[in-house]
Structure 1
Amino acid sequence: MASSSRHSGSGDDFEFEEPPPSYESTIDAGFLHGTTRITDDGRIDVDPESRFVKTLSRFVPDVKTHAQDSRTEPPTYTTLHGSPSAPRSIQRKPWIGQLNIVIQVVGSRGDVQPFVALGNELQKYGHRVRLATHNTFERFVLDSGLEFYPIGGDPSELMAYMVKNPGLIPSMESLRAGDIQKKRKMVAQMLNGCWQACLAPDLRTGTPFVANAIIANPPSFAHIHCAQALGIPLHLMFTMPWTSTRVFSHPLANMKTKSDNKGKANFVSFSIVEWMTWQGLGDIINDWRDAIDLEPVPLTEGPNLAETLKIPFTYCWSPSLIAKPFDWPEYIDVCGFFFRQPPQYNPPDELRDFLRKGPRPVYIGFGSIVIDNPAELTELLLETTKAIGVRALISRGWSGLGNTGNFDDHVMYLDDCPHEWLFQQVSAVVHHGGAGTTACGLRYGCPTVVVPFFGDMIAAAGAGPEPIPYKSLNRSNLAEALKFCLREEVATTARCMAMNMSREDGVKQAVNSFYTNLPVQNLFCDFLADRPAVWEYRRKGRKYKLSGDAAEILARYSQLDRRSLKLHVSKEIIIENRRWDPVSGTLSAAIATFAGMTQSATNIFVKPVQIQRAANNSGRQRLAEADVNIMRQGSPGKSQDRSKTNSSGKETDPTKNQVSDPSRSTESAKNANAASSIALASASGLGGFFKNYAKGVFIDIPVAFAEGSRAVPRLYGDEVADYGTVKDWKSGLVVSGKNLTLGLGEGLADLVVKPYEGGKEKGALGGLTGIGKGFLSFATKTSSGASYSIHM
């Protein structure tokens, strides 16, 4: 991917000069042309009958034991570890120690609040919990008793951007308006903030902190990369479905037409949305990875990293609302909504009086969503509620609804008011479909009208009408939706759902899910079992895991040599560059090699110029400082003296406007150092050119061809053997040996096996097809084994 960004060598400050140049061309004329289109509301139109979607469908794994229906039954509940509603699938492991846990969250208050409840639950087990999110929520987090770390980013700007571009995918309108440039800067700031949150001391107390585990929501983006750099476990949690499934499409995908194989089309929609998101942000993430000493993520791997690496995932919605899809693996759980302890609230007299004056009102609010024209929306809400004869409580929110001064007796405007108290006083709720508001409304049996900006889950459960896209909202459809919610049967459905949810404990089950997926055996010290291991020590062929305290005690009493300690990796994350076929694999490796050579060739000339400019700027700054000193030291009325002595004993010559400073004698040395740096920079660029050439021609391109050849059987539905992952030269020899010996054997066997299997399944035609598969398998596997072994 072409990068349009640059960052400082420290990795702390990122500057972006322009939006990614490839984004618009990729959408309009690239490999997704004719397959997708970004709509006015920021969702993505996906054509399931396009060639690209059909090609991707070939890689969708088969599910042989489940029917591909649109909905599965909720899990059976039982009493487990004190919870009255724990799914049987979550079996918590025994817990023996305490961890430093950082929770990384990007989004609005509705996104942050569930993780506050989670953090409080984790604290009950003795963990130190740090919640890293936007600076705006510092007081909210600290008041809840959690440690806070600011990651930057303005959530109001973020939510305004998401109204136009749900899912962080920029529309053409946003590109033209320059919104994407601001968003990219914000993402870069948040990436670095999330990294610092894993390592920096507490900003208030100075207490040191190093994370032992990470919990994050997907839009924080930094999670996998921080976990990889630190070698610690990661657990993702979210309020929207973000894992590929056949049961439903991605919440940001709009399937344009019906498909004969709806399940596979749904599955592919997740990959398409992730591909488009990565297209806009991948270069920023890779620039930041370079700053924390990680290799760049290949373009083909970035979009679906969480699924490829099998990162544990917990979804915090009620399984009585949407059950866990049948094709999600065991390490993905649906645990229930996360509810905090209801805060103490004493409503103002004005609110009490309004509630007493008439029937229960409806609640209308859009929370932290920033709306372009709040006055127009306020007028629409006033007229609609008055026309159908209902009272309303309207939350001002971040958009400031009702700030125009247009009031009516049947409406009251609210500022901050806890939903836990408020939703027990209303007959229905109208909101944007945020998870926190959705959960609270259902918890208290409120029929719900969703005006979605980026997702909802209500209509399918029967607790509200079909959602109304915000840009389609008008007096007529809002009135019909409110009338629907006021039906008795809808209210009954909402109350039944509230009863089911009352038996759930989503936060407790999320903690159980987190524990279940932790590598407990590799996480703690072998001597102080309640302390997380941070060091490894090998002695007599045995590896010991040591906490910081254990290592210090053993070293103090001469039981080990500090120089023999190595950092302990409790959870290793390896991002492989998988190849799908020899053509695309070889081509991508060649492009990467050429890009590296081009960058290095450019550095031969660019780096010296940058160093020269920096030296010139530094010299001008020193001269300017000297001039200022002279002006400060000069004495009025004595300018006739050519030489004077200042207070520090340095001789000045006012006519030459310079100081006879001993530091001036080092100027030539500094110039010599600059010349030496320029020469080294040029030589480094030249060395990089030949390094990229040699690595690409003799290693990367041949290995890409070998791996691509080995993957060919996957294109026609066969399994491809996994010979292991190359981590170093030893594992490389093992993999190449297996690839040569086993690959050659499999290729020879396929010459016989494939025709037999094809003939047995489909007769003569299948036999002929099997012959073709057999020869193709023999050719690709043998060439792969030979090429891999030669170049490893």
Structure 2
Amino acid sequence: MSRLSSSSLPVVLEDGPELKVSLPLVPCSKPLEPVSAPSSPSWRGMRIAIVVNGSRGDVQPMVALAQKLQEHGHEVIIFTNADSVSTCNACGIDAVSVFADCCAVIQESGGMSGDFVSGVSRANSTASKWLRSNPGACAPVAECLQGFQPQLVVCGTLAVGTCIRYEAQASVPAVYVFLCRELLEFFSDVLCLQPERPCFLATNPLLDSGPLQANIRQTGTWDLPDYTEVPSKLEDFITQKGNGGLAMGWGSMIAFGLPPEKMLALALRVLKSLQIHGVILGGWAKLDELAEQLANGELQSIGDDWQELAKFAAENVCFVAEAPHAWLFPRCSCVVHHGGLGTTQAALRAGVPGVITPIFGDQFFNASHVNRLGVGVGLEQPLPELTVENITAAVRSAWDMAKTAAEFGATQISSGLEEATNAIQEFMLLHLRSGLWDMRLRELEAFDSKL
């Protein structure tokens, strides 16, 4: 049994708003140094479970890690949301549905807003309703883990409760992955679980710098290569209109208090105000489908200017559900988005200034980092409070930062996947294969028995 004792931490869970989990407050040892791949092949063929619950921004870095681990000969299964299984499979990774459909949850809850705890708590309530309404759509995660019998669990932030429980029951170590510093600090006590293990902050140190606890590796981002094709109508649109337009979209976010049809109207009014062509990515708000309704005269509710917006859109806007960011963003003069880590990083890599209109959680921090670097404009107000004038002015300011953004894009560090994979393999070789993990567990149990 893993040693779980000493302090209490409120953990926001996938199956409820809060659980008190006891964790040890144990000082960490000296900082971990970067590692290279072990020279011995004896770490190969390990069974690794990746447990991740959340939106595309949460899941895709884990898919990228799974691909890298598979390349090194490990057997990997991702246990994730019902709507993420197809993404995993498309990338060559086996996956099992164990959490509610995240897209449906965000849509049915009316969107996300505010801080991490309140936003996730509201989504958890909707997720419970979704699971009751869709019996059989998800398998029990604990039973799935027991069936797979992993030798290591890699845990995404919103699955912390699941992985702590499994480690306590099966003595199988979990390593924790954080995609933003805010959540790392929120779950800081998890970092001191004993026996020690590496934990990861998968962010760009140029974007997110600061001191870290000794056993945290800040690797850089874990970027999933584009696995979707460029829609032919998008290629035709760029060929006709040329480069230099705007890309706009909010990915896997819907803003609580701003219905998707209002998001569409806001985007169109910004483009019309700037008198520039643009690409609007539909995302989970399904803005591309709403645009079809607007063109058919079925969306008059967006305002008295609906006909003007419909005419402007028909002549100047391409709507697609999604598009490869690595292809699209370099062809644009500015990217207006929600500030999710993946989209923010894609804009930075493209060397294109961005305007962040944050909705939830770490997006506000990413907005402030973009301001600090001078590579775009991060707005302080959440999207529902922003006006056409706010965003239009931000785009004009961002255009003035094009040179700085291009220079920053040229300095981007490589993906952190290789360092993360090597660190995981070193841990498996030196702590699991060697028997050191089991020995440390016995020592901790013997120590506890004397208390």
Same fold (TM over 0.5): yes
State the secondary structure of the residue aligned to 2:83: helix
Q: Which residue of 2 aligns with 1:155?
A: 102
Partner of 1:228: 168
Partner of 2:60: 113
Superposed displacement of residue 157, structure 1: 4.0
User: 253, 263, 275: which one pairs with 1:389?
Assistant: 275
Contact 1:243–1:307 (CA under 8 A) maintained in structure 2: no
425, 433, 439: which one aligns with 1:524: 433
Equivalent position of 2:415 in the other structure: 505
Where does residue 138 of structure 1 map in the other structure?
A: 85
The question of 1:90 aligning with 2:29 is answered no
- Which of 215, 218, 243 is matched with 1:334 structurally? 218
Match of 2:395 among 460, 482, 495: 482
Does the Cα contact within 8 Å between 2:52 and 2:156 map onto a contact in 1? Answer: yes
Residue 523 of structure 1 aligns to a residue whose secondary structure is: helix
Q: Residues 165-210 of structure 1, C-alpha deviation per residue, up to 9 Å, x if partnerless?
A: 54242699x5xxxx7643456799999743233222xxxxxxxx31
TM-score, with normalisation over the residues of structure 2?
Answer: 0.76
Deviations 1:347-393 (A, max 9, x none): 41454234432442111011121344122221222122211222211
Aligned pair in 2 of structure 1 residues 477, 211: CA closer, same or farther (>3 Å)? same
Distance 1:197 1:426, change over 3 A: farther
Please report the RMSD computed on the Cα atoms of aligned residues, expressed in angstroms: 3.6
**Structure 1 residues 344, 399: closer, same or farther in 2, change over 3 A?**
closer
CA deviation after TM superposition for structure 1 residue 101, in Å: 0.5
Corresponding position of 2:116 = 167
- TM-score normalised by length of structure 1: 0.45
Q: Distance in 2 between matches of 1:168 and 1:158?
A: 16
| Structure-2 change in CA distance of 1:152 and 1:448 (3 Å) | same
1:571 to 1:514, Cα distance in 2 relative to 1, 3 A:
farther
- Letter of the structure 2 residue corresponding to residue 210 of structure 1: Q
Q: In structure 2, the residue corresponding to 1:382 is in which secondary structure?
A: helix
Distance 1:131 1:15, change over 3 A: closer
Q: CA deviation at 1:151?
A: 0.8
Indicate yes or no: 2:439 matched with 1:495. no
Unaligned 5+ residue runs, structure 2? 1-13, 20-24, 295-309
Q: Displacement of 1:133 after TM fit?
A: 0.7
Which structure 2 residues correspond to residues 161-560 of structure 1 after superposition, within 5 A?
161=109, 163-164=112-113, 166-169=115-118, 181-183=125-127, 193-200=140-147, 209-221=148-160, 222-242=162-182, 270=185, 304-307=189-192, 309=194, 312-323=198-209, 325-326=210-211, 328-343=212-227, 345-349=229-233, 351-371=235-255, 372-402=258-288, 403=290, 404-405=293-294, 406=310, 407-453=313-359, 454-456=361-363, 457=366, 458-467=370-379, 468-487=381-400, 490-501=401-412, 503-516=413-426, 518=427, 520-524=429-433
Shift of 1:342: 3.7
State the one-letter code of the partner of 2:200.
T
- Give the conservation status (yes or no) of the 8 Å contact 1:102–1:197: no
Determine the C-alpha separation between the residues in 2 that align with 1:170 and 1:343. Answer: 29
Between structure 1 and structure 2, the one with the greater Rg is 1
Structure 1 partner of 2:10: none
1:379-418 CA-partner distances (Å, limit 9, x unpaired):
2221222112222111111212251413342222112322
CA contact (8 A) 2:278 2:316 kept: yes
The number of aligned residues is: 391
Cα distance in 2 between the residues matched to 1:169 and 1:570: 40
CA deviations over 1:627-654 (Å, ceiling 9, x no partner): xxxxxxxxxxxxxxxxxxxxxxxxxxxx
Matches of 1:315 and 1:93 in 2, distance apart? 19
Q: CA shift at 1:127, angstroms?
A: 0.4
Identical-pair percentage: 22
Counterpart AA for 2:172: I
